[in-house]
Amino acid sequence: MVTFNEVAKESGMDKSRQGSCKCRKFVVAIFVVFIVGILCWHIHHPRRHENLLGLEPGMYCTIQFRRDALAITTSTSPLTDVANGTKVSIWGKLLDFDREAILFEYENNQSIVNGKPQQERIWIPQSSILLIKYEQPENKRTLD
């Protein structure tokens, strides 16, 4: 069996060029792994705050939940707050969002301390949202 060193000697390649060739192959392999890693990261990590509606963290809005996600089978207006005695919307402050979910802050009227409703944060999967109605800055209500 013929080895690489024997072929290199016959072709006139010296030891320094053999090492240089191995070094180039190693650098190229590292570069390829780096590029593949960047491409995989870009595909699996969507850009934050990518949206078409102009929503921004800090905006106040009403989130209407999908009626089928709440097991409501009767037809109701998409802007109604209550359907069949069930609350189907929530008003509050948009804290953060991505393609998967929304982080939302709202006043929980069920939890009152010192006469004031407690502010709570919830994570809402986007798959359960029917629509988001946001208020213009001049119409903004506050949670306080």
pLDDT tens digits, residue range 42-53?
A: 665 555 445 555
Residues 116 and 67: their CA atoms lie apart, in Å, by: 30
pLDDT tens digits, one per residue of 90-114: 999 999 888 888 899 998 777 777 8
- pLDDT value at residue 123: 92
Q: What is the mean pLDDT of the chain?
A: 76
Q: What percent of the chain has pLDDT above 90? A: 12
Residues in the chain: 144
132 — alpha (psi -120 to 50), left (phi > 0) or beta? beta
Residues 127 and 139: their CA atoms lie apart, in Å, by: 28
Say whether pLDDT at 79 is over 60.
yes
pTM, two decimal places: 0.55
- Residue ranges covered by each domain of the chain: 4-44, 60-139
Residues 61 and 131: their CA atoms lie apart, in Å, by: 10
